[in-house]
Structure 1
Amino acid sequence: MQAPDKTLAAAGCILIYATIIGFTDNYVRLIAVEAGLWQFHATRTAMALALLGLAVPFLGLRLRPVNGRAVLARSAIHGTAMVIYFGALAFLPVAIVAAGLFTAPIFVLLISRFAYGHAIGPVRILAVGLGFLGVILVLGPQALSGASLAAVLPVAAGAMYALGNIATREWCPQESAETLLAGFFAALGVFGLIGMAALALWPVAVPAGADGFLLRGPVWPSAGFLFWVFVQAAGSLLGVGLMIRAYQIADAGRVSVLEYVILPASAFWSWMIWGETLSVQAWAGMGLIVAAGALIALRARAQAVAV
């Protein structure tokens, strides 16, 4: 049985999650210069699970799953979505890949409505439309150009990410956030080890610097690599844990729209850390993203008052 919907609390979790992930993800560019994506995933998983294990006795966390099959299925789906997403970066522009992944809220609505019979309502449909339009404006016109059969891959990642988010509440309502968090990192760690092994056995030509992030096999880690991966592991533990909690306490259709806020959060940290600025069009897009989130939050508050 599902707990009552707590959309406003979920919005707070998502806001903190976006702030943390927006900060840590800005430093992936430093990791990408010397190591590969697969080694990054494997190393981050090892660190994250070690930190989580250390926290168990002090915080009284529960890692044992109630339904092991459901947790395994959800972890595999989310992990596969991320592998498809990062894999598509090897041969598609970042804007197209990001736009594909951010179709997830649309798939959340469709799956929620037709697979689970949830009502979606005009306000939520409007919010999804506003948010996705905002994403397109932030990413720029290149997000709509160059579409091809290969561009279906990021959309597939968005669909799987949506299914994984729905599974959080529909399949795993009795699981603790830390159980789902451990499953998520474990899945990415397994994929990371598979990628490292494949590239070690069948090495390919690797471009220098960050351009070789996806194709680079295992390398000897430097102190800088280990430090920034640790920052990623610690930040992801807290941020992704809050994101999972948001999907546990509120309807996936609402939370998925609130996740759009990660784009403005990433842009803010890019400006603070690297001095990167945005165009007027991008600011307009972020305004639409904020409006989409506000629609969801205000609707939830109105419903709470009515009750």
Structure 2
Amino acid sequence: MRATKDHTLAAAGLICTYAMIIGFTDNYVKVIAAEAGLWQFHFSRSCLAMLLLGLLALPFGLRLRPVNLRAVAARSAIHGLAMVIYFGALAFLPVALVAAGLFTAPIFVLLISRFAYGHAIGPVRILAVALGFVGVILVLGPEAMSGASLAALLPVIAGALYAMGNIATREWCPEESAETLLAGFFVALGVIGAVGMVALALWPIAVPLGTDGFLQRGAVWPSGTFYFWTFVQAAGSLLGVGMMIRAYQITDASRASVLEYIILPASAFWSYVIWRETLTPLAVLGMVLIVAAGMMIALRARVQES
């Protein structure tokens, strides 16, 4: 039977932990991109993640077999495509513009939940989405909204796909375990990565040096540094994305998507700790708005659940 009870406060805790883990691991993508390509990264990370998941399945009694294979496959393909577009856009667009596009996802979640599934969306959640999005723009800076072009639509498409995948988690896959959806996500990314490597092997193209060649680079013989940080990425993603999936299973997608805004201040925190990258006062104000949006959702949910 489908579980419909909401546990928004528990979901908030899961998403905050997910944000801290992913914020740390994603700061090292630039190290990976310096010597390997997007496609090899996704394929290698997926292989390592599935190996770890397989090793954990028996001792912890994890259920990996899907209840509805078609629903899991469809959700996995949507989320996988969103992540490939997101990482791929980083190769030729400013990081600020790409991130701003992806974080339009809560807007799409709100619209899809309302018009496709008929969910009631209260004024508090509408205000929280608007407040959080303004916070995102302030964190990313004015350049996030400049240079609009056809290519700049790609991150927005990634945001729409990401929103669809998040809604599918609760609407299409309510009976699936978090580990089943996690396995589907990594299998989809692994398949996409393998297809990319094969395509570049058959039709090679010129590859710029360093991180500039992240999108165009095919399979290479990377160093131990690549494998170490890809393993960290795999382990971190396995734990973090698993928590995120569980959060979307236990609360409404439009609530969880707003709480995901916390990943920006989490990433900024790790950027300062690891690379000593500092923030402008405007960005700090944006983070305050982001946290406020999450608190509005959590406090509103507490009132409704009490």
TM-score w.r.t. length of structure 1: 0.98
Q: Which piece of structure 1 moves more, 161-170 or 193-202?
A: 193-202
1:231-270 paired onto structure 2 within 5 Å: 231-270=232-271
Aligned residue in 1 for 2:197: 196
| Superposed displacement of residue 221, structure 1 | 2.4
1:20 corresponds in structure 2 to: 21
Q: CA deviation at 1:19?
A: 0.4
**1:119-198 equivalences in 2 (<5 Å):** 119-198=120-199
The 8 Å contact of residues 29 and 210 in structure 1, kept in 2 or not, is answered as: yes
Confirm or deny: 8 A CA contact 1:2 1:169 kept in the other structure. no
8 Å contact kept, 1:135–1:286: yes
Deviations 1:243-277 (A, max 9, x none): 00000000000000000000000000010111110
Q: Which runs of 4+ in 1 moved over 6 A?
A: none
Answer yes or no: is the 8 Å Cα contact 1:81–1:158 preserved in 2: yes
Amino acid at match of 1:101: L
Q: Match of 1:94?
A: 95
AA aligned opposite 1:193: A
> Which residue of the partner structure matches residue 220 of structure 2?
219
The Cα of 1:83 is off from its aligned counterpart by: 1.6
Mapped partners of 1:96, 1:268: distance in 2: 20
- Structure 2's unaligned 5+ residue stretches are none
Report how many aligned residue pairs link the two structures: 305
Is it true that 1:288 corresponds to 2:289 in the alignment?
yes
Aligned to 2:81: 80
- Structure 1: which 5+ residue stretches go unaligned? none
Give the conservation status (yes or no) of the 8 Å contact 2:91–2:213.
no
Bigger mean CA deviation after superposition, 244-253 or 87-96: 87-96
Distance 1:209 1:277 in 2: 24
- 1:207 CA displacement: 1.4
SS at the partner of 2:303? helix
8 Å CA contact 2:86, 2:158 repeated in 1: yes
SS in 2 for 1:34: coil
Q: Contact 2:79–2:165 at 8 Å: present in 1 too? A: yes
Distance 2:227 2:248 in 1: 31
Letter paired with 1:223:
G
Shift of 1:86: 2.1
Q: Name the amino acid aligned to 2:281.
A: V
- Cα deviation, 1:181-219, whole Å, max 9, x if unaligned, reads 000000011111111111112121111111111111110
DSSP 3-state at the match of 2:19: helix
Q: Which amino acid aligns with 1:154?
A: P
CA shift, 1:91, in A, is 2.7
Q: Mean Cα displacement is larger for which, 84-93 or 126-135?
A: 84-93
- CA-CA distance at 1:92 after TM superposition: 2.1
The answer for the alignment partner of 1:37 in structure 2 is: 38
Report the Cα distance in structure 1 between the residues aligned to 2:226 and 2:217, rounded to whole angstroms. 14
* One-letter amino acid of the structure 1 residue matched with residue 292 of structure 2: A
2:305 corresponds to which letter in structure 1?
Answer: A
Q: Which one-letter code corresponds to 2:164 in the other structure?
A: L
**2:90 is matched by which residue type in structure 1?**
L
In 2: Cα distance, 1:27 partner to 1:149 partner: 29
For 2:93 and 2:37, locate their aligned partners in 1 and report how far apart those are by CA, in whole Å: 18
Residue in 1 that maps onto 2:304: 303
Superimposed CA distance per residue, residues 103-159 of structure 1 (whole angstroms, 9 cap, x where no aligned partner): 000000000001111011100000000100000011110111101122222111111
Counterpart residue type for residue 284 of structure 1: L
- The RMSD of aligned alpha carbons is 0.9
Q: Distance in 1 between matches of 2:305 and 2:212?
A: 49
Report deviation, 1:93: 1.8
Percentage of matched positions with identical amino acids? 77
